[in-house]
Structures are given as structure tokens and as C-alpha cells.
Structure 1
Amino acid sequence: MRTLFAALALLLLMSQPVSGETLYIQAAKLIDGASDQAREQVTVVVRRQQIEDIRDGYHGDPEQDRVVRLHEHTLMPGLMDAHTHLSMEMSPDAYIRQFTEDPADMAFRMTSFAEKTLKAGFTTVRELGDSHGLSTSLRDAIRAGHVAGPRILAAGKSLATTGGHADPTSGWSQALEGDPGPREGVINGRAEAAAGVRHRYKEGADLVKITATGGVLSLADSGENPQFSEEELEALVTTAKDYGFHVAAHAHGGEGMKRAIRAGVRSIEHGTYMDRRIIRLMRRHDTWYVPTISAGRFVADMAEKPDYFPPQVREKAAEIGPLIQETFARAWEGGVKIAFGTDSGVSPHGDNAREFIYMVEAGMPEMAAIQSATRETARMMGIDDQLGTVEAGKLADLVAVVGNPLEDISRMLEVRFVMKEGDIVRHD
């Protein structure tokens, strides 16, 4: 009978938002994102959408107050993934689906990917490239409460050059490819570079994503060649700053990275062929690095399957994929600022936390890996005034995992509690 009453109480707790009431969250450990040390036996007090207080010891009377008991768990800030693609998930038929599916089909599939991401503990993501305005529409639907999902900072359509990594018609027949321009995310020259940014502003994006070099999954021969001139990059970044945008730069090859860093992009994504000179350049320009080891590991594994990728993609995946974890190790050792990012959509949605395991394997301490997905990513996104640490006055985005991830980082895969802006969205 006691078990039945406990289950009913839990269902009642989850069926109502916390807003307007005080909730006491008791946790065996707290990683607050600000300190390098975990705190023992802590109560986080949440009222409405905010963290009201953090107290030592367990507070709140279960008979009178709303209490969440996480006495075998570690509580931490809501996790952040700075590189996702909720509009897709890689599969052998991914290349043909663009001709067989409508945008509405993609949109409905996105809702399940968004919910998986949120329930995996990731309450905020940067959505780095889609089509048909899907990510901005999903962002708005989540904000309005129509769909369950993480808070989204959306880049909209990535910007590429003709035939570049994010040219939406690369690999198509001449009868179909046409001549896409800035509206479709394809630019050539300074004027079109500015126009591409302005179209992203017009469609409601939060930031700009560019493909500064070739990529692995595009139907093109090179995965690393530079694809923007320095003049185009200067125009892109200057215009982006005018509109209050950060610029995230997909880049594998060294020359494309150097051009993008000198132009003033906010972050380098992937960074496969980063060397010591580029590491020094990133430190000089205060450029962030978003590693996406998960995507590298995934495409390398899939390249071993003969029919998973088209031949030219398979060759690039086998070459580039295995290198990203080694690059991450050099970047961490070299003192580059690192924000957490997976490229989920290439790797499966909901498995975002596997990135922690790969980061620790490459030499990053467990605490630093967790901070990279909380405090550091919040700083990179420019939202650290509201999120990224467990502090009074900040939004109540909270996640709890079983056990102690500082002793076993794989515990980050065992999420049992998720709160976003004061509402409980998962409590196992």
C-alpha cells in the first residue's frame, strides 16, 4: 500500500508544473557548474521558474511541502549541446529521403528527436543547420508549450558557397540543381554574403552557421578544402555582428579554419586538422572549439559497413571520423576554450551524453567535461546570465543522474530527473 501511495504522489508531482509553488529538491551531491568541487547533501529550492536558494542538508517536509528526494543521485545544471541537427538522423536512406519526404514529414519526426534530447538531460541546444525553417518553427513551438523539447538557439539554413558543404543541391543532377542563392543559403562574393546573413535574420534565426570547409557527409570529393574567401568571411562576420549574431563555422581543414578564425567567428565546429599553430590562433582570437567526437566516432563506425554511405562519403568518413578525438586531446592540452557539442543527427538523438565518455577518454577530467556542457557552453552561447550554473536567481534547469559521474563518467547516460524552467519533465 505504501508503494501505491508513493507512486500516486509521484504522478501528482509530475502532472503539475512547479510554477507558483516552492519545490525542495534534495540531492546526495550537487555539481553546481561554478565550483570545481561537488557539494554533499544539498537542497535546491525552486520557486516558479527560478532557483530561489541552495541549502546545505536536506530541507522540506514531505508531508507539507513538495519534495523531490534524489538521495542516490548527483544534481547539476541542465546540460547543453552546442551542435545538433534535430531535423535529421543519419541512416542509409538519408540521401534519398530529401526527394521522397515533405517538410511536414521532417517536422513531425523532429518532435520525437526533441523530446529524446530533453529527456536525455539536455535542456538547451544550438541547432546548427536545417531547411524549410524547421528549427525556428520547432523553437517557437517549444517556447509556446505545444511540443516537449529543449530550449533552441536556431541557425536556420547554413550558409555555403556554390557546390560547398551546405549547398542543398550538391550531388543532384543538372536538371534538378538549379542555381540556389542567398535565400537558400548559397552565397558567392561579399554582397551575397551579407544578403545570406540578412535572410537568416528575416527567417528568425538566432545565430549564423557557415561551412568554412568541405564536409564528410556532403556529396563532394573534398572534406577539408577551404570554401570561402577571406573577403566573403569578413563580410559574413561583419554583417552578423550588425544583427547581433554569433557565427559558428563548420571546419575540418586547416586553411579554412585559419581564415574563419581571423575573420572573427565565435566557434569552430569539428576542427579535425587543427594543429598547434591553429590552437595558438584560436587562443589569440578567443575562439571556442566545439569538438563533436560523437559524430566522428559514428561515421567512422558506419564507414565499415559497405552499403551505409555513398562511396565518396564512405571514403571521407573513414579518413576524417577517427581523427576528431585526437584533435580534441590536442585542443584540451593546448588550452583552447571548449564547449560541448555532439553533432547529434549524425549520431543518434538521445545519445548526446556519450560525448562525455569520449572527452574523458581523451584526457579531460570528469568535472571539466561536465562544466563544458554547462557553464562553458552557456558562456559561449551568451546565456550564462540565466543558465549554466546552479545559483539563486537563475532559471531552474536541473538534471540528476544515478550515482557519482565524477567517479564514473558513464553515469551521465543514467539521467533520472530533468527540470526545465521549473517544470519537471522527467522523474523516474
Structure 2
Amino acid sequence: MLKKLVMLAMIIVPAGPVLADQTWLRCGALVDVDEGRTLGAHTIVVEDGKIESVRTGSPEAPNDAEVLDLSVLTCLPGLMDMHTHITSQSSPDSYLRRFTANEADVALRGAHYAKLTLEAGFTTIRDLGDAYNASIALRDAIDEGMVPGPRIVTAAKSLATTGGHADPTNGHRRDLMGDPGPREGVVNGAADARKAVRQRYKDGADLIKITATGGVLSVARSGQNPQFTEAEVAEIVRIAADYEMHVAAHAHGTEGMQRAIRGGVHSIEHGTYMDDETIDLMIEHQTWYVPTVSAGRFVANMAVVDGYFPPVVAAKAAEIGPLIQETFGRAHAAGVRIAFGTDCGVCPHGDNALEFQYMVEAGMSPADALRSATLRAAELLGRTDDLGRLRPGYLADVIAVPSDPLADVAALMDVRFVMREGGVYKTP
């Protein structure tokens, strides 16, 4: 049903164009993300959705090739955001919308946000929590060429404990609260953990997302208390591995973060109260860190806007939100493995590239910030053989901006050209 609803998005957002047999992109400059330097004019030859070759200068193209003039632009690999919620977006009526939005509303909003994200230059995303499995339907519709959007790797519905950050009935009155279980993503004990992971596999999810601590936007009191036992985390990780799925852990508080790391999760999301001991543990276990500074900055700003958040949420947003950028800076300086992520859906979709500016403000070089959204994100996904570089054999995910992003990362907020797997979705 949801898949059909997402396909209805064709009515309001046309899908990508038919691919030419061969497309030649004449770039004024090209960013080598491995070396962290910007090269001169290059031509990228695209065939069957992949990069056939990358050639110096502007060699003559065959008569039957499509030639796109990007000679005043700088080309670079499509960007990747490793923490989004593509089927929703924060607003003052978000909490009411839980009771008024139907599956169709969620699906069609997701199609709109996917288009915004792709046009912002993000050709691959991880989605870490949805409703109604809408991100699964959206992923499939995009893959089938029904609607435009980024490549989606999705966790579908997040896993929580009873009353935890992703318990879908938090804040409901008693007769609506019920007692949700593994099917709804609520886990208490090892048996529930096994069933919840297997349900996500059955639903079609690509990975598992747990809420290892309290969070900001839920109406529960604590934004940082631990919410899974280490044994529960380890069981989720163990069963997920049977289905070749990684586990991402939302975590703000130190204790819950450490339980998640020791339990074997693949990545920590947010990591607000990460201390030196936790940083050492991250490095020891080679756990990825996805900072989401954008969301922290956004909720901190909105916390002082009267009526934007319920009071219990505003208090947590004001406390937790401003801390993430500083935490990111310390983690980067210590050598923690970092992949780019924004938590867009909390902050507005399409503004994903603001994260680059926040990362640079906190001490990361523009080259490393760009690598976090290309090479490092590909490593996190296990896709280093086809994503994150402009090289022969890689998928033809190419974007172009008006100036050198290694000189000023703000250039990434002005994406003029977008190609995903050889299909052109935005032109100058």
C-alpha cells in the first residue's frame, strides 16, 4: 500500500530523465577527495550509470554522445548524509501530526523531502527512523525510477525500550498508550530483541537503529539516561549480523553510549556527552561517530521560540543542542572515525550542507569534512568499491558547485548540477 502511495508522488514531482547511451561532463575543475585537492579542467565520461573514464582537459566527444557544459563549475562526487529522517520534518505541529497524518501523508511528504535532498547534492542517505515503513516504500520507488531522490539505506522504525526515546506511544493518554512490542519497535529483553530485528528484516530494512539513551524530541523527561542493557544491545547486534545488518545507536548520555559501544554497535549518532573515556572506547572498538551538529544547532535555536516545542522538549533542546559541536571537535581531534550526518528531518531537508560549515568551525579541515561525506560515508556503508569517488567503475554520482569547496565549504550550499547513477536531476 505504501509503495503505491509513494508512486503517487509522480503527480507532483517528475522522476529523472531517460539516460543517454554516453554522457560527457565537461568540468571546469574537479575535486580529488582522496588527495584533498582541486584539479583543473576534466571530462567525466558516463555510460550505463557508471563512470567510464575521467579524462584531463576537454577531449573531443563522439558525435552520438550527450555533452554537458559544466566548464564554469567544479565537479565532485555526490554527497552522502548518514543520518536523516526523510519522511518527516520538525515543525510546531509535529506532535499533533502524529494523530492527524495518515500513511499517505507521510509517504507523499517523504517524496517531497527526497527531491529537496537530491537537489541539494546528496545522492545517498541513511534514514534512521520512520513511521509506517514509509522510507522502505520510498527507497523502492526511487530505485525503480518512479520518483526522484537519493539512494536510501534505511533502518525503518527505530528500536526502543518501553518508554524509551523511540517508543511510539510516549506522551499518549492511557487508552491510546497500550503496550507496544517488537513489531512496533519496543524491546524489553533478549527475546524481544531477536523478534524486533527479524521483523525489521521481514519488513525490508537495511540496518537496525536503536535509541540507546533518551533523546531531545521525545516527551520523556530525560534526554540522556541509558535505555538498553548491554546484554540487550549485544543481542540486537548479534541477530542483526545474522541478517548482514549493522546497528546504529542514537546516544546522548555517557553510560548508554558506552553500553552501546561495548555491545558492538557500528555507529554512535549524536554522542553529545562523549567524554575522554568514551572517546578511547570508540577508538578501541573502531566505532563510527555521526555527529549531527546541524540538529543540535537547530533545536537550540528553536528552544527559545515560544510554542515551537513542548516545555519538556524545549528544556532538553536548550541543554543538549549547543553541546554537540564542541563534542564533535574533541572527537575529531582525538582521531575518532567520523562520517557526515545531519539529522535532517529535525533540521530542514535541503539544508544538509550547513553541516560542513559547522564541522569546519569546530576545527576540521574542508578536505576532511568533504571526505566525511564521500570516502568515509562509503566506508561506513561498506560501499568503497562504487561510491564516494570520481573514478572509472564507480556509480556516476556527480555534483557541481560554482567555486572550490576546499577553499570555502559554503560553496556546497549552492549545488548547480546533480547526477545520480547517470541520470541528471538538476542543471545550471
Q: Does residue 416 of the first structure (1) align with residue 416 of the second (2)?
A: yes
Report the equivalent of 2:182: 182
Distance between the aligned counterparts of 2:171 and 2:385, measured in 1? 43
Is the contact between residue 117 and residue 350 of structure 1 (CA under 8 Å) also seen in structure 2?
yes
| Partner SS state of residue 138, structure 1 | helix
Displacement of 1:32 in angstroms is 3.3
| Partner SS state of residue 186, structure 2 | coil
Q: Does residue 17 of the first structure (1) align with residue 28 of the second (2)?
A: no
Report the equivalent of 1:292: 292
Is the contact between residue 26 and residue 59 of structure 1 (CA under 8 Å) also seen in structure 2?
no
Superposed, which structure 2 residues align to 1:180-259 within 5 Å? 180-259=180-259
Report the equivalent of 2:339: 339
Distance between the aligned counterparts of 2:351 and 2:252, measured in 1? 23
Assess, with a 3 A threshold, how the Cα gap between structure 1 residues 61 and 245 changes in structure 2: closer, same or farther: closer
Amino acid at match of 2:112: S
Assess, with a 3 A threshold, how the Cα gap between structure 1 residues 390 and 368 changes in structure 2: closer, same or farther: same
Report the equivalent of 1:269: 269
Superposed, which structure 2 residues align to 1:73-112 within 5 Å? 73-112=73-112
Displacement of 1:61 in angstroms is 4.5
| Partner SS state of residue 250, structure 1 | strand
Report the equivalent of 1:4: none
Which segments of 5 or more consecutive residues in structure 2 lack a partner in the other structure?
A: 1-14
Report the equivalent of 1:168: 168
Deviations 1:182-205 (A, max 9, x none): 000001001101111011001000
Deviations 1:366-394 (A, max 9, x none): 11111110110011011121111111011
Deviations 1:79-98 (A, max 9, x none): 10000101111001000011
Is the contact between residue 90 and residue 347 of structure 1 (CA under 8 Å) also seen in structure 2?
yes
| Partner SS state of residue 356, structure 1 | helix
Q: Does residue 70 of the first structure (1) align with residue 70 of the second (2)?
A: yes
Distance between the aligned counterparts of 1:220 and 1:15, measured in 2? 42
| Partner SS state of residue 415, structure 1 | coil
Is the contact between residue 60 and residue 67 of structure 1 (CA under 8 Å) also seen in structure 2?
no
Is the contact between residue 32 and residue 391 of structure 1 (CA under 8 Å) also seen in structure 2?
no
Is the contact between residue 38 and residue 404 of structure 2 (CA under 8 Å) also seen in structure 1?
no
Report the equivalent of 1:150: 150
| Partner SS state of residue 337, structure 1 | coil
Displacement of 1:318 in angstroms is 0.2
| Partner SS state of residue 37, structure 2 | coil
Is the contact between residue 16 and residue 423 of structure 2 (CA under 8 Å) also seen in structure 1?
no
Displacement of 1:36 in angstroms is 2.2
Displacement of 1:161 in angstroms is 0.1
Displacement of 1:63 in angstroms is 6.9
TM-score (norm 1): 0.95
Report the equivalent of 2:5: none
Report the equivalent of 1:10: none
Distance between the aligned counterparts of 2:234 and 2:26, measured in 1? 50
Deviates more, 1:403-412 or 1:210-219: 403-412
Moved >6 Å (runs of 4+): none
Displacement of 1:272 in angstroms is 0.2
Displacement of 1:24 in angstroms is 1.4
Distance between the aligned counterparts of 2:375 and 2:116, measured in 1? 22
RMSD over aligned CA atoms reads: 1.3
Displacement of 1:62 in angstroms is 9.1
| Partner SS state of residue 338, structure 1 | coil
Report the equivalent of 1:26: 26
Report the equivalent of 1:321: 321
Distance between the aligned counterparts of 2:202 and 2:47, measured in 1? 36
| Partner SS state of residue 424, structure 2 | strand
Report the equivalent of 1:11: none
Is the contact between residue 85 and residue 127 of structure 2 (CA under 8 Å) also seen in structure 1?
yes
Displacement of 1:16 in angstroms is 4.8
Displacement of 1:105 in angstroms is 0.9
Is the contact between residue 24 and residue 59 of structure 1 (CA under 8 Å) also seen in structure 2?
no
